[in-house]
Amino acid sequence: MLSGRRLDLLDPSPLDVEIEDIAHGLARVARWNGQTSGEHIFSVAQHSVLVELIARRQAEAAGVDLDRRWRLATLLHDAPEYVVGDMISPFKAVIGGDYKSVEARLLTAISLRFGLPAQWPAALVGKVKAADRASAFLEATRLAGFEVGEAKRFFGAPFPLDAATEREHLTPWSAGEAKARFLARFTELVDPAPGA
């Protein structure tokens, strides 16, 4: 890693996980294999910021406050991809268990490094998946050329965001901006301002 850490893929240690490495890597990993519109790639870092925002909005719409630790988990849901990259779902299915096993070990190490449970509760996993699918719907229809009906078949019903929020979060950011915004959101979640 750029930090100088050496990460063992087969037995990753939480002590070798650095948020700067995660942010740097995710800001340079393209969602949709780079097949998106815009001057820049739509990165996994930007996707992660969007998923965390959607999870918060979904919780608010349901009349609940999503715990700060669960928001952090949502931001970090794709963090293993800073090491293994982002593979499209059909290819992940072909590779199967080995890929998922490596990804799961990495997520466990990342979770422990940042004070989250090694195994996420089922309720949290469900919230992350719901927000992830909602983000994928928006990305697919706004950036990747999917028709609305096609996206609904793959990702389910969309979760609406206002036009300004969509513009802000679905216009692909540069790698530098994606890294900075991911790190800023991480810092807000691990070191919240008084009263936040």
Rounded mean pLDDT, 137-150: 96
Q: What phi, psi does 3 have (nearest 5°)?
A: -70, -15
Check: CB of residue 186 under 8 Å from CB of residue 23: yes
Residue 136's pLDDT band (cuts 50, 70, 90): very high
The share of the chain scoring above pLDDT 90, in percent, equals 81
Residue 10's pLDDT band (cuts 50, 70, 90): confident
| Predicted local distance difference test score (pLDDT) of residue 196 | 54
SS (H, E, C) 45-82: HHHHHHHHHHHHHHHHHCCCCCCHHHHHHHHCCCCCHH
Quote the tokens at residue 13.
């240690």
The answer for 115, left when phi > 0, alpha when psi is -120 to 50, beta otherwise, is: left
| Predicted local distance difference test score (pLDDT) of residue 1 | 83
The rounded Cα 7 to chain-centroid distance in angstroms is 20
Q: What phi, psi does 165 have (nearest 5°)?
A: -65, -40
pLDDT tens digit sequence for 153-181: 999 999 999 999 999 999 999 999 999 99
Calpha distance 41→144 (Å, rounded): 11
Least confident of 3-12, 13-22, 54-63, 71-80: 3-12
Residue 97's pLDDT band (cuts 50, 70, 90): low
Comparing CA positions, the residue from 25, 18, 74, 44 lying closest to residue 173 is: 44
Quote the tokens at residue 34.
């780079």
Rounded mean pLDDT, 178-191: 97
| Predicted local distance difference test score (pLDDT) of residue 98 | 76
**What is the chain's Cα-based Rg?**
16
Least confident of 3-12, 27-36, 143-152: 3-12
| Predicted local distance difference test score (pLDDT) of residue 96 | 66
Look over the chain and give the mean of its residue pLDDT values, rounded to a whole number. Answer: 93
